[in-house]
Structure 1
Amino acid sequence: MIDLIEGLGVAGDAHAGVTVKHRSRVAKNPSTPNLRQVHLIHRELFDLVALAGYRVAPGQLGENITTAGLDLLGLPVGTRLRIGPVVLTVTGLRNPCEQINRFQPGLLKQVLRRTETGEVERLAGVMSIVSRGGAVRAGDPIAVERPPEPWFPLTPV
């Protein structure tokens, strides 16, 4: 179980707060709103990187919540995810960094790669803010509420 605090993030997490907590972002502007309070990764990513020989388990890439059967990367900005009493609002894509290679050398190229047309593809999950807090437990169903159209694709936050 994890406790999510409205407007802050995961209780006790280093990235919880109203403003950015990631070192590089704090260095640029410490008063920037924290759009990265909760990190979600789709379970299917672990299967994908396993095809390239990497073993990754839930929680090892810094995510707070692991989903299954949900196209996280295809959600539009502003999608609300209801998990039990909790409401998360999706803000954008996680932009993975070199630290992933410290976990397993070469893994960054598996989660941050280029398509055949040369576009950057970010596969390391999505970021969200806590719009309504509460406790989330393993196995809680996730209800997806897309925002009104027009929908905007996720970009790195």
Structure 2
Amino acid sequence: MNGLLRVCVDALLAGRATPYTRAGSFSGIDKHACGGSVHIGELGLAGDEQGDPRVHGGPDKAVHHYAFEHYAAWQQDLGSLPLLQAPGAFGENISTRGLDEGNVCLGDRFALGGALLEVSQGRQPCWKLNDRFEVADMARRVQTTGRTGWYYRVLQAGSASAGDFLELKARPHPEWALRRLNALLFERVLDAAALEAALQLPLVTSWRTLVERRLQQCEVEDWSRRVDGPPVA
């Protein structure tokens, strides 16, 4: 790709799943920087866990990447929260400067150390961000702004460290930046031509089902359960 995108990784982060804020909930959203070399396998970074494997983690959500540039925008929106002073606030595994939803495309393949990662989907934010930031509509804000971050699947396992470069190796869908896909899904689009075009992409099963349902039913799904979560005890 002629060095089209090559950025330094500022931090690799992992966290254990622990009891969370609402009754019966668990989360691994509290990530901390890893020291030294970290193995990246099919299910993500060594030592990283997810609290609810039904909706988090798995091969298509093995590694979460969040642009550190977004932190400045969140500070403008929310103030200088302690949570926003260092990477990890959004439960990300990779923190960089120079990549965001506008210049990363679905299906992009990146080399990182000995690993090969493929962009599998954008993040669909959930209610756990509300509680982490103590902002009742934080998940909706993340979704509305498009500052969602994205996930990788791991095509080749390997080890990497903070300070290694994340380098683009292949871009099969250059016309489908994540910002475009986010807009299609999150701005409640019902345009049949746009949705049909998205179905030509290698969408994960849940996103393909979502797009197909919109086309069939001509209505947008209800996100309240995901973004608002269960009742607070």
Q: Identify the TM-score tier after normalising by the shorter chain.
A: 0.7 to 0.9
When structure 1 is superposed on structure 2, of 51-60 and 63-72 the one drifting more is: 51-60
Amino acid at match of 1:101: N
- How far residue 12 of structure 1 moved from its aligned partner, in angstroms, is 2.7
Of 45, 51, 54 in structure 2, the residue corresponding to residue 10 of structure 1 is 45
- CA radius of gyration, larger in: 2
Amino acid at match of 1:152: W
Match of 2:96 in 1: 67
Match of 1:43 in 2: 68
Q: Which runs of 5+ in 1 are unaligned?
A: 16-20, 27-32, 114-120
**When the two structures are superposed, what TM-score results if normalisation uses the length of structure 2?**
0.52
Task: Say if 2:133 is the partner of 1:108.
Answer: no
Of 147, 151, 154 in structure 1, the residue corresponding to residue 171 of structure 2 is 147
Higher helix share: 2
| Greater length-normalized contact order (CA 8 Å, ≥ 6 residues apart) | 1
- How far residue 141 of structure 1 moved from its aligned partner, in angstroms, is 1.4
Distance in 2 (alpha carbons) for counterparts of 1:70 and 1:149: 16
SS of 2:66's partner is strand
User: What is the aligned residue count?
Assistant: 138
Higher strand share: 1
- How far residue 64 of structure 1 moved from its aligned partner, in angstroms, is 0.6
- How far residue 54 of structure 1 moved from its aligned partner, in angstroms, is 4.8
What pairs with 1:62-141 in structure 2 (closer than 5 Å)? Answer: 62-106=91-135, 107-113=138-144, 121-141=145-165
Amino acid at match of 1:50: Q
Deviations 1:33-86 (A, max 9, x none): 631000000111111101111532212211111011123453221101111222
Percent identical across equivalent pairs? Answer: 29
Distance in 2 (alpha carbons) for counterparts of 1:9 and 1:95: 18
Change (3 A) 1:110 1:79: same
Amino acid at match of 2:139: L
Change (3 A) 1:54 1:95: farther
Change (3 A) 1:68 1:60: same
SS of 1:74's partner is coil
- How far residue 143 of structure 1 moved from its aligned partner, in angstroms, is 0.8
Change (3 A) 1:35 1:135: same
- How far residue 153 of structure 1 moved from its aligned partner, in angstroms, is 4.2
Structure 1 stretches of 4+ moved >4 Å: none
**When the two structures are superposed, what TM-score results if normalisation uses the length of structure 1?**
0.74
Match of 2:3 in 1: none
